Amino acid sequence: MNAAKRLEIFRRLHEDNPNPQTELAYSSPFELLIAVILSAQATDVGVNKATARLYPVANTPEAIYALGVDGLSEYIKTIGLYNSKAKNVIETCRLLIEQHGSQVPQTREALEALPGVGRKTANVVLNTAFRQPTMAVDTHIFRVANRTNIAPGKNVLEVERKLVKFVPKDYLLDAHHWLILHGRYVCQARRPRCGSCRIEDLCEYKHKTSDD
């Protein structure tokens, strides 16, 4: 895909949604970090239901750490893998208190040193909470990048690096949100809604299939 196509794709996505937001509910970088940890193999809707119960009671590292694993588990037991997630969150809170003055660090290395935080989670926090030009590649973004040919790659790291390189700089800060929303609601896995897709004429997926 050439640069002109990519520019037009993101121009349209921006035009349709000038201020895209994550669908995870949060009011601080810490709340976002915990929500993203909880979101692994879970839906944003499910996470939001759990944090809607948790955050009014505990929404700081100290308050959640005070709950302990068992106490936290009661709030998040509707989420998949809640036992391991509770352990990771409690340990993350301890490290934030002891090593970071209860503040969420603003580097990928420091974030990835926290339990339950991988590269994707770190990139979400850096981009969404701190507005750094990172690209968190989940299954939706991986699919859209490959299917449209915006940034094809065999693995998430390859796609991430290509997106950071190829997405026009003026759109890089919000590209993560546009791509994930596009994958979630339009360019779906089993039945992509090509007929109602804003970028259908620019996408290289349909041309490939029509040539088969």
Active site residue 174: no
Q: Which of 138, 162, 206, 208 is catalytic?
A: 138
Q: Which residues contact 176 (CB under 8 A, 6 or more apart)?
A: 123, 124, 127, 128, 134, 135, 136, 141
Of 84, 166, 175, give the one whose Cα is nearest residue 137.
175
Specify the 3-state DSSP secondary structure of 24. coil
Active site residue 44: no
Specify the 3-state DSSP secondary structure of 63. helix
Q: Which of 5, 120, 169, 174 is catalytic?
A: 120
Compute the half-sphere exposure of residue 198: CA atoms within 13 Å on the CB side of its CA: 17
**Catalytic positions, written as ranges:** 120, 138
